[in-house]
């Protein structure tokens, strides 16, 4: 009879430095750090297995939430987000600088400034459309006004003539007694814009994603927007250079492209990933549910596809693989 070496249950902390033939890790809480999980999953020479407990036994009765479903995936995801090691002062500063200098942060600042800076312009266009001062004042105070103006700036950046479009849909009438005027105007302007081909000469996007604000008369606001636009361009230049010099898995999408097309494609993907915090190995990650993110996704996907080589002679299997990688 073959002799067996028996093992006993120990904590991941105590298991550091130990090596066994097979290791079995019991994982029961997303509060576990990813460093501890790494230790637990690297003790076995031949195999390492993890058993994920989802019964929430580690929680007190009052801590249970009916609106959250605990799954093996959610537990592991929580662990991977839980870093136990303390960062050095240099690492902390670098992380903070990277966060505040990201396209996500700069775009958010730009949008906030643009919304304030363009308010007088939108009010003037609504007046030209026949909306009364009282109706405009009430509209400006609603949450839907910000959503409307964001959509106006996006459509203008895509090439639509908002100076003509907004007064025209306002003059169409039927606005008396409307409970949510901002949403109605947004619906109308989207519907009309969808029926007209925008002018390609007017397309104005920062970093290929952020709609540029126009018609700004306040010098201080204009300077603030220009500064953030410059920072976004500098950020994207740095991201593109880094991606080309130190390729990541998602860079496989640009294999085979000529240098100019490759740099353009990398710039498009780098901008989208930094704008929306994409970390997956596929270039653009999963198709988003959020409307604003979905617009950027489709724009980036279209630009990326336009820089791919002609696929007429490629096999169907190759075409399907390319489609999935986007």
Domain range annotation of the chain: 20-81, 103-211, 247-325
Asked if the model's pLDDT at residue 111 lies above 70, the reply is yes
Would you tell me how many other CB atoms lie within 10 Å of the CB of residue 170? Answer: 21
Would you tell me how many other CB atoms lie within 10 Å of the CB of residue 222? Answer: 15
Closest CA to 49 of 25, 14, 27, 21: 25
pLDDT tier at 199, thresholds 50, 70, 90: confident
How buried is residue 76: exposed, middle or buried, by Cβ count under 10 Å (0-12/13-18/19+)? middle
238 CB contacts (<8 Å, ≥6 apart)? Answer: none
Closest CA to 205 of 85, 303, 70: 303
Query: Buried b / exposed e across 228-265, counting CB within 10 Å, b at 16+?
Result: bbebbeebbeebbeebbeeeeebbebbeebeeeebbbb
User: Which of residues 311 and 7 earns the better pLDDT score?
Assistant: 7
pLDDT tier at 190, thresholds 50, 70, 90: very high
- pLDDT of the residue at 78: 76
User: Which of residues 199 and 227 earns the better pLDDT score?
Assistant: 227
Q: For the whole model, what pTM was predicted? A: 0.65
Length of the chain: 326
What's the chain's average pLDDT?
A: 82
> Tens of pLDDT along 117-132?
999 999 999 999 999 9
């Amino acid at each position: 009879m073959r002799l067996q070496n028996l093992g006993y249950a120990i904590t991941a902390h105590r298991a550091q430095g130990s090596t066994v033939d097979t290791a079995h890790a019991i994982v029961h809480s997303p509060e576990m750090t990813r460093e501890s999980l790494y230790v637990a999953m690297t003790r076995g020479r031949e195999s390492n297995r993890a058993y994920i407990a989802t019964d929430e036994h580690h929680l007190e009765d009052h801590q249970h939430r009916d609106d959250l479903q605990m799954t093996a995936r959610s537990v592991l995801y929580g662990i991977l987000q839980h870093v136990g090691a303390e960062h050095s002062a240099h690492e902390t500063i670098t992380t903070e600088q990277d966060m505040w200098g990201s396209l996500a942060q700069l775009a958010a600042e730009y949008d906030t400034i643009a919304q304030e800076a363009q308010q007088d312009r939108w009010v003037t266009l609504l007046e030209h459309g026949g909306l009364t001062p009282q109706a405009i004042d009430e509209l400006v105070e609603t949450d839907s006004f910000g959503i409307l103006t964001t959509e106006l700036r996006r459509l203008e950046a895509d090439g639509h003539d908002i100076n003509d479009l907004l007064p025209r849909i306002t003059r169409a009438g039927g606005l008396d007694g409307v409970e949510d005027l901002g949403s109605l105007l947004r619906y109308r302007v989207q519907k009309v814009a969808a029926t007209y081909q925008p002018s390609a000469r007017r397309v104005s996007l920062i970093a290929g994603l952020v709609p540029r604000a126009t018609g700004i008369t306040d010098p201080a606001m204009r300077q603030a927007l220009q500064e953030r636009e410059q920072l976004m361009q500098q950020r994207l230049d740095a991201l593109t250079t880094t991606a080309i010099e130190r390729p990541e898995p998602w860079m496989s999408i640009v294999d085979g492209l000529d240098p100019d097309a490759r740099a353009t494609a990398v710039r498009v993907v780098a901008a989208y990933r930094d704008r929306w915090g994409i970390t997956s190995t596929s270039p653009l990650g999963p198709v988003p549910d959020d409307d604003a993110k979905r617009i950027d996704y489709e724009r980036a996907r279209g630009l990326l596809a336009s820089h791919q080589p002609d696929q007429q002679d490629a096999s169907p299997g190759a075409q399907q693989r390319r489609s999935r990688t986007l």
